[in-house]
Amino acid sequence: GDSVTQMEGPVTLSEEAFLTINCTYTATGYPSLFWYVQYPGEGLQLLLKATKADDKGSNKGFEATYRKETTSFHLEKGSVQVSDSAVYFCALSIIQGAQKLVFGQGTRLTINP
Amino acid sequence: GAGVSQTPSNKVTEKGKYVELRCDPISGHTALYWYRQSLGQGPEFLIYFQGTGAADDSGLPNDRFFAVRPEGSVSTLKIQRTERGDSAVYLCASSAQGSYGYTFGSGTRLTVV
Residue of A nearest to B103 (CA): A45
Contacts of A42 in chain B (CB under 8 A): 106
Burial of A82 (0-12, 13-18, 19+ CB in 10 A): exposed
Amino acid at B105: G
pLDDT digits (tens, 9 = 90+) for B40-97: 899 999 999 988 888 889 999 999 999 999 998 999 999 999 999 999 999 999 988 7
Q: Would an 8 Å CB–CB cutoff place A50 in contact with chain B?
A: no
Mean per-residue pLDDT of chain A: 93
pLDDT at residue B1 above 60?
no
Q: Would an 8 Å CB–CB cutoff place B25 in contact with chain A?
A: no
Band of residue A96 on the pLDDT scale cut at 50, 70, 90: low
Beta-carbon contacts of residue B13 (< 8 Å; ≥ 6 apart) = B19, B82, B110, B111, B112, B113
pLDDT digits (tens, 9 = 90+) for A63-83: 999 999 999 999 999 999 999
Higher-scoring residue by pLDDT: B51, B7: B7
pLDDT at residue A35 above 60?
yes
What residues are paired with A45 via a beta bridge? A37
What residues are paired with A100 via a beta bridge? A94
Under 8 Å between Cβ of B110 and B11: yes
In chain B, positions 40-59, which contact chain A (CB-CB < 8 Å)? 40-45, 48, 50, 55-56, 59
Q: Would an 8 Å CB–CB cutoff place A51 in contact with chain B?
A: yes
- Cβ contact, residue pair A42, B48, below 8 Å: no
